[in-house]
């Protein structure tokens, strides 16, 4: 049995609330992504398609629509969808992503059930046309092989699975960010609940290779949200360490691109001049666990 249209209902199957986020600008990709969900086997799905500033139409039977009158940003849009679906697990899928394996969700849930210390799972990301995947899709400093699984401390947000109880305990996606770095905060807060964020190199989500710099505000939001991330989540002594390390990194990275550097520095200043709210610093033991696992939150 598969998807929300499966009949009769098997109450022993794992239940998954699925939030698909879209602005309605990629109808073919959206159709592909939803179709890949409906093909999932051995799970019971409750799917909502959230239109950020758009009313979704023409959806398959059994897929709910939630139209938001304005674009609230990526994390807020995902959060609005959560209240519309039921399930022991939550799966977030962006409209330009899809799941090629019909056993993906049941396999991913099997991993969570086999190791209760995992509180969040991100699959390996592969371009469906065979274009080489960018290294940024492997969310760790020492990239290694894309097929190698490991603990991680940030996630690529386009396809993410969590137990609903863990997601609720984290407080959800960080709405002030609008775009960029909300996946770092979610991973950090999963760690702060005593769980681990896990990169599953043996599971695959499809997504086309697209440069993040296509977004007009990429550099500004990237910098502003780095500062906000520190101010919202880190113990006070680590805030200047984390923000300062990223300032040095970007000064080196964009030294030959003064336009990008100016935009980034403007966002960095904005991060200090404006308040993101929602401060919830990591516990000292969380910082220690993250350090032992390979990445203290200082870079």
pLDDT for position 211:
72
pLDDT for position 1:
37
Which among 86, 88, 89, 90 is positioned nearest to 21, based on CA atoms?
A: 90
Q: Kindly give, in sequence order, each residue whose CB lies less than 8 Å from that of residue 207, ignoring residues fewer than 6 positions away.
A: 94, 96, 97, 98, 125, 126, 127, 128, 137, 158, 159
Cβ neighbours around 219 below 10 Å, total: 25
pLDDT for position 50:
98
How do beta strands 196-206 and 118-126 pair? parallel
pLDDT for position 133:
87
Residue 118 β-bridge partners: 196
pLDDT for position 193:
98
pLDDT for position 214:
55
Taking the model in full, what pTM does it have? 0.94
Q: In sequence order, what DSSP letters do the residues of 239-278 get, joined into one string?
A: HHHHHHHHHHHHHHHTTT-HHHHHHHHHHHHHHHHS----
pLDDT for position 2:
45
Residue 285's alpha-carbon distances to 116, 258, 293, in angstroms, are 19, 40, 12
Could you give the 3-state DSSP secondary structure of residue 91? strand
pLDDT for position 13:
97
How do beta strands 89-94 and 15-22 pair? parallel
Task: Tell whether domain 15-210 is in CATH 3.90.550.10.
Answer: yes
Q: Is the peptide bond before 218 cis (omega within 30 degrees of 0)?
A: no
pLDDT for position 5:
46
Q: Where are the domains of the chain?
A: 15-210, 216-281
The tens digit of pLDDT for each residue in 177-218 reads 999 999 999 999 999 999 999 999 999 999 998 876 555 589
Q: Which residues of the chain have pLDDT under 50?
A: 1-2, 5-7
pLDDT for position 216:
59
pLDDT for position 215:
56
């Amino acid at each position: 049995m598969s998807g929300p249209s499966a009949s009769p209902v098997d109450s022993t199957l794992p239940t998954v609330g699925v939030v698909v986020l879209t602005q309605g600008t990629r109808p073919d990709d959206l159709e592909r992504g939803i179709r890949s969900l409906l093909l999932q086997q051995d799970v019971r799905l409750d799917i909502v398609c959230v239109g950020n500033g758009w009313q979704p139409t023409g959806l398959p039977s059994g897929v709910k629509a939630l139209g938001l009158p304005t674009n609230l940003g990526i994390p807020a849009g995902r959060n609005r969808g959560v209240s519309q679906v039921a399930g022991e697990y939550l799966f977030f899928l962006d409209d330009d992503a899809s799941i090629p394996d019909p056993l993906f969700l049941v396999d991913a849930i099997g991993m969570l059930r086999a190791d209760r210390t995992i509180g969040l799972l991100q699959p390996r990301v592969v371009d469906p046309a065979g274009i080489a995947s960018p290294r940024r899709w492997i969310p760790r400093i020492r990239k290694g092989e894309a097929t190698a699984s490991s603990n991680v401390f940030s996630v690529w947000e386009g396809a993410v699975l969590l137990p609903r109880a863990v997601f609720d305990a984290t407080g959800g996606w960080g709405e002030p960010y609008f775009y960029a770095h909300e996946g770092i905060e979610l991973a950090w807060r999963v760690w702060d609940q005593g769980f681990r964020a896990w990169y599953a190199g043996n599971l695959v989500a499809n997504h086309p290779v697209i440069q993040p710099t296509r977004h007009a505000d990429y550099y500004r939001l990237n910098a502003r949200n780095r500062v906000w991330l520190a101010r919202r989540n880190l113990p006070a002594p680590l805030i200047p360490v984390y923000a300062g390390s990223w300032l040095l990194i970007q000064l080196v990275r964009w030294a030959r691109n003064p336009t990008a550097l100016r935009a980034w520095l403007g966002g960095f200043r904005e991060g200090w001049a404006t308040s993101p709210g929602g401060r919830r610093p990591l516990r000292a033991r969380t910082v220690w666990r993250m350090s032992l696992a390979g990445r203290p939150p200082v870079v």
